[in-house]
Amino acid sequence: MEQLKTIGRELAMGSQGGFGQSKEFLELVKSIGESRSKAEEDRIVVREIETLKRRIVEPEIPKRKMKEYIIRLLYVEMLGHDASFGHIHAVKMTHDDNLLSKRTGYLAVTLFLNDHHDLIILIVNTIQKDLKSDNYLVVCAALNAVCRLINDETIPAVLPSVVDLLSHPRDAVRKKAVMALHHFHLKSPSSVSHLTSSFRKKLSDNDPGVMGASLCPLFDLVALDPNSYKDLVVSFVSILKQVAEHRLPKTYDYHHIPAPFIQIKLLKILALLGSGDKQASEHMYTVIGEIVRKGDSSSNIGNAILYECICCIASIYPNAKLLEAAADVNAKFLKSDSHNLKYMGIDALGRLIKISPHVAEQHQLAVIDCLEDPDDTLKRKTFELLYKMTKSSNVEVIVDRMIDYMISISDDHYKTYIASRCVELAEQFAPSNHWFIQTMNKVFEHAGDLVNIKVAHNLMRLIGEGFGEDAATADSQLRSSAVESYLRIIGEPKLPSAFLQVICWVLGEYGTADGKYSASYITGKLCDIAEAYSNDETVKAYAISALTKVYAFEIAAGRKVDMLSECQSFVEELLASSSTDLQQRAYELQALIGLDAQAVETIIPQDASCEDIEVDKNLSFLNGYVQQSLERGAQPYVPEDERDGMVNVSNFRSQDQHESAHGLRFEAYEVPKPPMPSKVVPVSLSSSTDLVPVPEALYSRETHQVSSVGASETAGSSELRLKLDGVQKKWGRPTYSSPGSSSSNSSSQNPANGVTQMDVATVVNSKSRDSYDTRKQRIEISPEKQKLAASLFGGSTKTEKRSSTSNKIPKSSVSAADRTQESKAAVVPSEVSREKTNRQTPPPPELLDLGEPSDTVAPPTLDPFKQLEGLLDPNISTSINHSGAAVTNTPDIMSFYAETPASRESGSGGYNIPVSGDNVNLLSELSNAAARGTTEETTMTSLPQSVKGPNVKDALQKDAKVRQMGVTPSGQNPNLFSDLLG
């Protein structure tokens, strides 16, 4: 409210000062600023909207009045109300010859419209004309609109004019032209890929503003491909040195610091170019050291430059003196009373410990203070630091702290994040498997279902695999400990589903293994779990499987099985369950109890959860059954691609590519015909049995379903198919259809971009290490804080890994610190080759296959839509495919709904930019990247034949009525004829 009053007073002063605003506008602003409620403000604005709607359409409105109405519309939309009725008047004002009116119109349209608004097309012509104006103020106004309103489709219309303005005599025009090209690069990189040399040229512009504007697009280009811009390192260093030495005019100073934002952008660019490159980094050491030495820590902007210097030092090839200077600056941040500076210090410390782990030891008390600070943001950033400096000696303390903090917060998003970090640290640095299990129990108990299900599977795998073959005693102790802990946890209310799955699995596998608990006790606990969580079918499935294992182990041991009454009730309930999965498990339990000990031991061997399972992919054991069925007259299997009614889309792909017009298809449906008996084709049976050992899937459900693999799986694996399962086919021949399942596997690659690790801990002198302690006032430190600091920072600083022989932790997780060290060490052997091939050619551009999916369907031969004869085009030609089905050349309606992937082009070039002198001659050449496009093949399976009903005549009459009313396809198919038939 106070801000609105301030705005009102300023506008009032402006109107009284002769800006031409009327008293009515002054009263509007004053009344809104003095309103006491939102409802009163809305009433005032609604009344103003009605007034503007009435006055803005009056004929022959003076320009001064129209300009005021547009400003009042801006004020209305600023308060959150709709003023779209006046947008067209703002567009008209951009056509005005008066400079003040034109600039007001451009200001209004940039605030009213977005780059995809329907009115954008009306101002493109005006922008083109104004970009060629002799008045540079008009050109600047048009360039401002270009940066806000031009989208990727209208870029070609204004791009030539913007490129010509790069050589305009006015520095303000050149600066805005560079900004416009940067906007084009963000919208459509391929449209300006041939103009990267222009950004290089403007780097040496005589005006510092133009040079500063060119740094923004260059930063984006360097981030995409640093190797193509290694030759600009000397130029960037020279510019940074000139800026730091106050070579720029005083107008660029901010709080007595020369062009601080240009310095920050240059430091970010140098950090990218010097990452892992020793030769490039050596050019930067001197200027960065000077900036750190002369840095002003008394202002926020000075601290921002110092922080950016620390980030740059941590990114480039390490230097001992720079690391020492960065540690001293970081000590000042951590000693500050400002939470913002402490936050920067914690973040900078996390970057420095990757290069020099000993840096954190001298700030251990400051880290503890930040960990206990009531500021939640600072505490979270401190946990990020502790995560980076975790090792085997302090993992217990750090994880316990994280779990305590996770319990105290209610933010589910961050609780999930903390839980994942706790699990990751426990898997990498757990001192013992017993501690790992206890930690996982705490995470599951307090984080609930927020924990990833893979964590539960890893825990089950750890308990099942144990320490290995040579540690049977330790394995049994581990499993007994897990059983005891889970039996205690069962009584807790509202346990998460993933944790209950682990509990049921462990109790089923090892509940009676050591003989401490009887089968009746374990089965009673499992039934209690199933009863308490009766709404969770997954938990009930794990519980019935665990009961099956317990009873199987008892029968195999020769002991009598006495099923408890609650277990019998539970099994009977599952026998009548609506879930076929639960029914199958219950029937399997009933069948297993009636078998003898030898059969049960063969079916469910004890302690075989981690053994590999041999799978016969060809299902050769069914060959005899298939042969007998064929001899008895059974129909042979028909591959999907050979069935009747199938149309291969690839035959018409070239035909659809040449069709530019899109329209509906009006082919007639096929006349129903009786099914034709197919001839029996002899099937050659393979007598070979290929058994492939496959490890058991621990992340899947315990029920393993085997599905047959058809011949069409290999023939059409690269084609996309529509899901037409369950779609009833009203007309046409009976066809074969079988539901298929497809799975997609995606693999992600994480490129490593690290720097070479240097052992700079021995180079940092003792003065920098003690900079925090010696300058801190002599205060009394509590014993608890000293003990916590000793637990976090004590011991060896070298990252320790768990031994695979003593502690068997899942090997899929690798320490983040180890990966960083490996990536840094990988840079050392390639230093010589990197120096020789510093200026290498850019990599070839990435090409994206383009294609438009085309769908064809099998059209019938008779047209039932007699009333649509007037709409049909008599010139439509038909083509006959190999199966005899007529297909028209009109494109499929599904093409309207196909997504067209965007193409990308990348271009870069290597150029050398000298910065000394005013006249710089630059020669650049650019390689244009060509993109090629390919089409994707899409095949639609035929609709399955279904029974229409007992009375064929009634069914046909019903079908005719449906055809008259309109067809509403099911699934994802669009409603093709609803618009035509009503």
How many whole angstroms from its chain centre is CA 875? 49
CA neighbor of 385 nearest in space, from 408, 407, 401: 401
Answer whether residue 583 shows pLDDT above 60. Answer: yes
Looking at the chain, how many residues does it have? 982
Quote the pLDDT of residue 544.
93
Q: 491 or 683: whose pLDDT is higher?
A: 491
| Per-residue pLDDT band at 743 (split at 50, 70, 90) | very low
- State residue 701's pLDDT score: 38
CB atoms within 10 A of CB 719: 16
Give the per-residue pLDDT at 953.
Answer: 65
By percentage, how much of the chain surpasses pLDDT 90?
34
pLDDT at position 106 = 94
pLDDT band at 642 (very low <50, low <70, confident <90, very high): confident
What is the rounded CA–CA span in Å between residue 351 and residue 345?
10
| Closest to 503 measured CA to CA, from 520, 489, 515, 514 | 489
Q: What is the mean pLDDT of residues 457-476?
A: 75
pLDDT at 311: 95
Confidence of residue 673 (pLDDT cuts 50, 70, 90): low
Q: Give me the amino acid identity at 61.
A: I
How confident is residue 666, by pLDDT bands cut at 50, 70 and 90?
low
DSSP designation for 937? B
Instruction: Write the pLDDT tens digit of every residue in 804-846.
Output: 333 444 444 444 444 444 444 444 334 434 444 444 444 444 4
pLDDT single digits (tens) 21-32: 788 888 888 998
What is the mean pLDDT of the segment spanning 946-954? 53
What band does 285 get if pLDDT is binned at 50, 70 and 90?
very high
Top pLDDT among 251 and 611 is at 251
More confident residue, 613 or 908: 613
**Residue 393 above 70 pLDDT?**
yes
pLDDT tops 60 at residue 165: yes
Residue 325 has a pLDDT of 93
Mean pLDDT across the stretch 432-445? 86
Looking at residue 601, what is its pLDDT?
85
Mean pLDDT, rounded, for 112-125 = 90
The pLDDT of residue 462 is 81
More confident residue, 935 or 257: 257
Model confidence pLDDT, tens digit, residues 649-665: 444 444 444 444 445 66
Mean pLDDT of 332-352: 91
User: Tell me, what's the pLDDT at 365?
Assistant: 82
Q: Can you give the pLDDT at residue 896?
A: 41
Q: Quick: pLDDT tens for 716-742.
A: 444 444 455 555 544 444 444 444 433
Nearest CA-CA partner of 446 in 390, 407, 485: 407
pLDDT tier, 786 (very low <50, low <70, confident <90, very high otherwise): confident
User: What is the share, in percent, of the chain residues with pLDDT greater than 70?
Assistant: 63
Confidence of residue 53 (pLDDT cuts 50, 70, 90): very high
When mean pLDDT is compared across 631-640, 676-685, 925-934, the lowest value belongs to 925-934
> Does the pLDDT of residue 129 top 50, yes or no?
yes
Three-state SS at 614: strand
Identify the pLDDT of residue 654.
Answer: 46
Does the pLDDT at position 744 exceed 80?
A: no
Q: Supply 937's token pair.
A: 């093949």
Give the whole-angstrom CA distance, residue 659 versus residue 889. 8
- For residue 571, give the H/E element and its range: helix 565-575
Residue 631: pLDDT above 80? Answer: yes
pLDDT of residue 645: 52
What is the Cα–Cα distance from 302 to 397, expressed in whole angstroms? Answer: 37
| Mean pLDDT rounded to a whole number for the chain | 73
How many Cβ atoms from other residues are within 10 Å of residue 587's Cβ?
13
Q: What is the pLDDT of residue 679?
A: 46
pLDDT beyond 80 at 377: yes
Whether residue 137 is predicted with pLDDT greater than 90 in this model: the reply is yes
Q: What is the pLDDT of residues 516-553, one digit of tens each?
A: 888 899 999 999 999 888 888 999 999 999 999 999 99
Phi-psi region of 902 (alpha: psi -120 to 50; beta: other; left: phi over 0): beta
Q: What is the pLDDT of residue 354?
A: 86
Tell whether the model's pLDDT for residue 879 goes beyond 80: no
3-state secondary structure of 60: coil
